[in-house]
Structure 1
Amino acid sequence: MSRKSIQFFIYTLLLLNSLGAYTQQVRELEGRPGISFRGLSVVNERLLWVSGNKGTVGRSTNGGASFTWMTVKGHEQRDFRDIEAFDAVTAVIMAVDSPGIILRTFDGGASWQEVYRDNRTGIFLDAMSFRNDQEGVVIGDPIGGQFVLLQTHDGGRNWQSPAGAEKHIPVTGEAFFAASGTNIQALKKSKYLYASGGTRSRLFTPGAVIDLPLVQGGSTTGANSLAVRYPRRQNGGRYWVVAGGDFSHDTVRTGNIAITRNAGRDWISATIPPFGYRSSVVFIRGRKLISCGTSGVDISRDGGLKWTNISSTGYHVCQRAKNGHAIYLAGGNGRIGKLEW
């Protein structure tokens, strides 16, 4: 092959790769104007639930073509910052601020049972993650010098502080962001990862506490979201991507992404970072990721090193279907979207 032919071939590959990134777009679906959505759970290609302020929960069984909207009775002024759905009738929602409560429905949202309540002053539940339909974990801001940590082993029917859990001590001004429900990830064998922000941004793992290479030091800075990938061949290591930044300066691109390919021993930063503060990040397939925040949506095709902006419309949270490949997003002013890819 001649030199010109090789150059043309390389140019064509780069062009196709670029076009592949830009043809992806977020299609806006029916929303709920006036509501801020930060909770999102995608069960399969067609079934998704969202939760937000003003006691609002929504469910779609047809891929977002339409939603059934409900206001949780007795909790009309609560902000449900996270939701975990298991099927068309069973879901768990978590409300921030005092009292901290967790509710569960078994009839599609027609009724909700209170399964956890914390009346302490200063309680603030931030995020929830389930490894399967039985094992879940909730993280909350520190009270009395310790982070709030809850676990369930029965699908959210009962919650308790895990016995024998390592007690991590927060520094002054360190807490968690209830931005997207994705700064904690449930792992196997009742283990979990969670990431803090504020004056200090750290990743708490089953065996270590790691300072993150993200912007930090202020009340609006640090980690907001964790994405975990289990590659087939990586010497047994784990690939984690942490997203965040400074939500008070949401177009600043520095210090908003951190990547580790060996379970936190070494970290690298993106060579082309997301286009601003990002409150949620998730693996789509293989090394491909999507991230979103108040200033837009980005795609990475190489494990988080280089990002392409595909939308300047803000979203708070993005999630992939547990069973399937569909990617949905939710955000402010009742906005709900679906990634076309």
Structure 2
Amino acid sequence: MTLTRKIVRKLPIAGLAAATLTAGLAGTAHAATHGKAPHLGWKLTDTGVQARFRGLAAVDRHTAWAAGSGGTVLRTVDGGRTWAKVAPADAAGLEFRDVEAFDADHAVVLAIGEGDASRVYRTSDGGRTWTTGFTNDDPKAFYDCLTFFDRRHGLAVSDPVDGKFRIISTSDGGRSWKVLPNAGMPAALPGEAAFAASGQCLISRGSRDAWIATGGGEHSRVFHSRDRGRTWTVTNSPLPSGASQGVFGLAFRDARHGVAVGGDYRPGEPSPNAAATTTDAGRTWRLAPRPPAEYRSGVTYFGPLLLAVGPTGSDLSRDNGRTWTRFDTGSFDTVSCTPTTCWASGEKGRIAHLTH
């Protein structure tokens, strides 16, 4: 049984100390002021559901999509004032963990799980109808994350099958998918897997670069492809690794500068080395001198700033991930930004937009 299989039933409730849960569910989160840091905060919206949203895609200041537990997919087109339930009709009980959205009408969602529970759906009419682009037929595969280079070309990653991570690819916007040959994929470590925690264990930047974040093995690692997933290189990261430890989320500002976040997702466990940075596309990584104080599952750029989120709070970096300052204590699993707007989502139906 792979690492993701072991934790998939734990992740929906992991990381929730009672005090955090109580604080996290309270109305609008308030930003703390730390020196000259921006006055940031999260303003919760009323989603009307209790699903846990680990998949999130910000489109613009009006439009966002969220994908979560219990076969739930939501969409807003009015800045979060209202959310519409737009899940595929046959999705009840599926665990959606990632969504990629291109506008108010076009989106692709990934459901995780063993065997045919791993699926990819596509909509071109705002979720009124969906088509199934991919249904996993290999009991050894377990898909974790999804990314798109543009509106047509995308990848999804599965935990290792026969000793290597498996990649599927689409060139028609998610209508159809094919398994890529694994000759260009380095061997996985014993116990190594990706974490389906924030939709950020597989990310892309530009037209060809993609990265995979892992944990569970002897080392946490980052894989990098320069050719849309056909060949990969891999390097160790300095973040801790273990059954509940590793790199959980990645973000890249450009093809060279990026950040990795993670730690130990178990409640109350210390995560002293929760962030690292790279300036060479992931060939080498350096621990952040002042990382977030606790485990973080999601990270993204917002202009020159970086935002990281996790079950115990949100952090801000103004120096490309070297130092971090907490600005919120609410619980979130993932974060997504456009040039003008940021959203965060997590447990108990929590979806919020950034105020600043």
> 1:65: Cα distance to partner?
1.3
Q: Distance between the aligned counterparts of 1:265 and 1:173, measured in 2?
A: 22
Question: How far 1:103 moved relative to its partner?
Answer: 0.7
State the one-letter code of the partner of 2:157.
I
Paired residue for 1:201? 220
1:49/1:191 CA distance change after superposition, 3 Å: same
Q: Which runs of 5+ in 1 are unaligned?
A: 1-16, 231-236
- CA shift, 1:251, in A, is 6.0
Q: Return the alpha-carbon distance in structure 1 between the equivalents of residues 176 and 342 of structure 2.
A: 30
Structure 2: how far apart are the matches of 1:62 and 1:265? 41
3-state SS in 1 of match to 2:291: coil
Q: Tell me if structure 2 keeps the 8 A contact 1:135–1:190.
A: no
Please state whether the residue corresponding to 2:262 is helix, strand or coil.
strand
User: In structure 1, what is the Cα distance between the partners aligned to 2:192 and 2:352?
Assistant: 32
Greater shift, 252-261 or 157-166, is seen at 157-166
Q: Which of 266, 275, 280 is residue 293 of structure 2 equivalent to?
A: 275
Decide whether aligned partners of structure 1 residues 44 and 58 sit closer, same or farther in structure 2, where only a CA change above 3 A counts: same
Residues 276, 322 of structure 2: 8 Å contact kept:
no
Q: Is the 8 A contact 1:227 1:242 kept in 2?
A: yes
Question: CA offsets, 1:59-92, max 9 Å, x none?
Answer: 0001111111234212201011111111111111
1:121 to 118, 121, 139: 139
Root-mean-square deviation (CA), in Å?
1.8
| In structure 1, C-alpha distance between the alignment counterparts of 2:349 and 2:182, rounded to whole Å | 41
1:7 is matched with: none
Match of 2:179 in 1: 161
297, 302, 315: which one aligns with 1:284: 302
Give the Cα–Cα distance (whole angstroms) in 1 for the partners of residues 182 and 163 of structure 2: 17
Equivalent residue for 1:243?
A: 261
1:177 is matched with which residue: 195, 201, 213? Answer: 195
Q: Which residue pairs with 1:14 in the alignment?
A: none
Aligned match of 1:308: 325
Which runs of no fewer than 5 residues in structure 2 stay unpaired? 1-32, 226-231
CA distance in 1, matches of 2:220, 2:205: 21
Q: Name the SS of the counterpart of 2:179 in structure 1.
A: coil
Letter in structure 2 aligned against 1:296: G
How far has the Cα of 1:129 moved from its partner? 0.9
Pair 1:224 & 2:248 matched: yes
Whichever of the two has the greater Rg, that structure is: 1
Q: SS in structure 2 opposite 1:225? A: strand
Relative to structure 2, which stretch is displaced further, 103-112 or 76-85? 103-112
CA spacing shift, 1:125–1:164, aligned 2, 3 Å: closer
Matched with 2:43 is 27
| Aligned CA distance change for structure 1 residues 183 and 164 (closer, same or farther; 3 Å) | closer
Hey, what does 1:64 align to over in structure 2?
A: 80
Cα pair 1:259 1:268 within 8 Å, conserved = yes
Choose from 234, 237, 240 the match for 1:215.
Answer: 240
Question: Which whole-Å deviations, capped at 9, do the CAs of 1:192-225 have from their partners, x for residues lacking one?
Answer: 2111111231111136310000011x21100011
Preserved CA contact (<8 Å) 1:250 1:294? no
Q: 1:317 aligns to what? A: 334
Residue type of the partner of 1:271? P
Greater Cα shift, 253-262 or 159-168: 159-168
1:234 aligned residue: none
| Closer, same or farther: CA 134–71 of 1 in aligned 2, 3 Å | closer
What is the DSSP-based 3-state SS (H/G/I as helix, E as strand, rest coil) of the residue aligned with 1:72?
A: coil
Q: 2: distance between equivalents of 1:66 and 1:165?
A: 47
Percent identity between matched residues is 32
Deviation, 1:150, is: 1.1
Aligned pairs for 1:39-78 within 5 A: 39-78=55-94
CA distance in 2, matches of 1:39, 1:312: 20
Find the residue that maps to 1:333 and give its secondary structure. helix
Q: What TM-score does the superposition give when structure 1 sets the normalisation length?
A: 0.87
Shift of 1:43: 1.0
Mapped to 1, the partners of 2:158 and 2:278 lie a distance apart of: 25
Task: Pick 1 or 2: higher relative contact order, CA cutoff 8 A, min separation 6.
Answer: 2
2: CA distance, partners of 1:257 / 1:306:
9
> 1:88 — aligned with what?
104
**Match status 1:152 vs 2:176:** no
Q: Secondary structure at the match of 1:193?
A: strand
- For these two proteins, the number of residue pairs brought into alignment is 315
8 A Cα contact 1:251 1:295, kept in partner: no
Note the C-alpha offset of 1:33: 3.7
- TM-score, length basis structure 2: 0.84
